[in-house]
Amino acid sequence: MLRQMVRAGRLDRSFYTSLLYDGYATGNAVLVVAVVGIIPGLRNLSVLDAAFSALSSIVRAGIVALAVWAAGVYLFRRYGQIPVSFRLIGFANVALIPFGTGVWFSSSALRLTMVLVSGVWFFLAIRVIARSQFDLEHPEDSFVAGAGVLAWYVGSILF
């Protein structure tokens, strides 16, 4: 799984394309989402906090996957499945690790930098997903990625 996370973080398009047909990778994707969700609270984390953080992270990933799928299928008339989108988005959550670790720092400039790095990295990961799953090119893949980042932001507010 660590190898898959590294390939996802490198934005390896062939890795994301291989996930289209690997139904067994869904469990790993859920685990990646849960681990990334727990990272911000590792300092003072109780079991209940860890469970809530993991669950809310999975719900946010589902919201993002739904937004990416809807943008690809309904706006650009491409074929796609929601479970596949969730699997791909699950591995794209590797890009949110700097965001999760950013809360550990006392410097607001460093925290802001970590947020910006994660935001751009997550945007680029969703672009790769849009290219892999829906065979979209620029600027359509950027629009889908923007919809995914916006959905993550809304999901963060709600959950």
Q: How many CB atoms lie within 10 A of CB 53?
A: 22
Q: What is the mean pLDDT of the chain?
A: 92
pLDDT surpassing 90 at residue 50: no
CB-based contacts of 58, cutoff 8 Å, min separation 6? 30, 33, 34, 37
pLDDT surpassing 90 at residue 45: no
Identify how many contiguous H helices and E strands the chain contains and give both numbers: 8, 0
What are 118-145's pLDDT values in tens digits?
A: 999 999 999 999 999 999 999 999 999 9
> What is the structure's pLDDT at 124?
97
Q: Is 113 helix (H, G, I), strand (E, B) or coil?
A: helix
Torsion of CA 99, 100, 105, 108, to 10 degrees: 40
What are 6-20's pLDDT values in tens digits?
A: 999 999 999 999 999
> What is the structure's pLDDT at 111?
85
pLDDT surpassing 80 at residue 43: no
Q: What average pLDDT score do residues 75-96 get?
A: 95
